Amino acid sequence: MSSKKVYLIVAQPNKTSLSHASFESIKKGLETAGHEVKTLDLYAENFNPVLIFDDNKRRRDLQYDTEMQVYREAVLWADHLIFVFPIWWSGMPAILKGFIERVFAKGFAYEYDSNMNIKGLLKNKSAWIVTLYDAPGIVRFVPFIIHDYGIVLKNQVLRSCGIKKIKYYRISSLLRSNPEKRNKWLKKLYELAVKL
Q: Report helix, strand or coil for 71.
A: helix
Q: Looking at mean pLDDT, say which of 22-36, 61-75, 127-141, 178-192 comes out highest.
A: 22-36
Percent of the chain with pLDDT over 70: 87
Query: For residue 180, what pLDDT band results from cuts at 50, 70 and 90?
Result: confident
The pTM for the full model equals: 0.90
Query: For residue 167, what pLDDT band results from cuts at 50, 70 and 90?
Result: very high
**pLDDT by residue (tens digit) across 46-91?**
999 988 777 777 666 777 788 899 999 999 999 999 999 998 887 8
Position 139 scores a pLDDT of 52
Domains of the chain with CATH codes: 5-194 (3.40.50.360)
Angle between helices 18-32 and 179-194 (to 10 degrees): 30
Residue 147 has pLDDT above 80, yes or no: no
- Residues paired with residue 165 on neighbouring β-strands, in sequence order: 126
Position 146 scores a pLDDT of 55
DSSP track, 94-156: HHHHHHHHHHS-BTTTEEE-TT--EEES--S-EEEEEEE-SS-GGGGG-TTT---HHHIIIII
Compute the CA torsion angle 20, 23, 28, 31 (nearest 10 deg). Answer: -140
Are 162 and 117 in contact by the 8 Å Cβ rule? The answer is no
Least-confidence region, from 4-13, 158-167, 176-185: 176-185
Q: What are phi and psi of 79, to 5 degrees?
A: -85, -30
Q: Report helix, strand or coil for 53.
A: coil
